[in-house]
Amino acid sequence: MVKHNSYFEGEVQSLGFERLGRPISVGVVEAGEHRFDTVAAERMTVVSGEFQVRLKGEESWKHYSAGTYFEIGATSSFDVRVAGATAYLCEYF
């Protein structure tokens, strides 16, 4: 079953589903800056566009363009800055 999610007054939209028994979501982040909290560990792959990412406890921002990914631990958070609509794939572990 596919589940639609909307966050930050619609600035982030995603579709959640399962693949090979693991939860996955695909979505789009509109221009802006957002903080995401994690429950499970995640791998975020940039499909189209670019993310600027600051992981919890870090001061500097790192750049991720299409085809790259970053990982976040469980029960953590990360900030994302986006200049234009950016698509992502999120795998939960």
| Token representation of residue 19 | 């693949």
Range of the domain at 62: 3-92
pLDDT score at 32: 96
Determine the 3-state secondary structure of 81 from DSSP: strand
Task: Report the percent of the chain where pLDDT is more than 90.
Answer: 97
**Residue 77: closest CA among 45, 51, 42, 52:** 42
Determine the 3-state secondary structure of 76 from DSSP: coil
Mean pLDDT value of segment 37-47: 97
Could you give the number of structural domains in the chain?
1
Using pLDDT thresholds of 50, 70 and 90, give the confidence band for residue 55: very high
pLDDT score at 41: 97
Domain of residue 70, CATH code: 2.60.120.10
pTM metric for this prediction: 0.92
- Give the C-alpha separation, 34 to 47, whole Å: 18
Per-residue pLDDT tens digits for 56-85: 999 999 999 999 999 999 999 999 999 999
